[in-house]
A = this chain, B = another copy of it.
């Protein structure tokens, strides 16, 4: 083997798809995706947040968040408790959202542990480090 001829980006994207599919399958019984899980989880951490704050927390574009949050609001897992007439939203989990997240956490943990085992401690550590390094490319070195 001479060089790494295959595109690192494409390989990374492929692995992300595969892993997403795995987590989604594990979360199937709760009826949310891993992406939605992440959104709910971060919102719970924040307690309350407007779109901008939540988007920043999730490292997503505001417009992306606006679209991702729609099905969650429709399913009443998230609500906006802002006073009418104000532009600044007050997003938070609903009761149903809290319960759903609680349930999801168990399944998430199972999935996470399973992947950790499959990878092994050493490979996991180096993976996390490599991913962190990649995140520093092309800009945002702001937080942390």
Contacts and interface: CB of A to CB of B under 8 A. Distances in A.
Interface of A: 4, 7-16, 18-23, 25, 34-35, 37-38, 59, 108, 111-112, 115-116, 118-119, 123-124, 126-131, 133-135, 137-138
B4 A138 contact: no
A138 B21 contact: yes
- CB-CB nearest 7 A-B residue pairs: A126-B126, A127-B130, A16-B16, A15-B131, A15-B134, A9-B23, A22-B138
Nearest to A41: B7
- This chain: how many copies in the complex? 2
Considering residues A7, A119, A124, A129, which has the most beta carbons from chain B within 10 angstroms of its beta carbon?
A7
B25 A19 contact: no
Contact of A18 (B21, B108, B134): B134
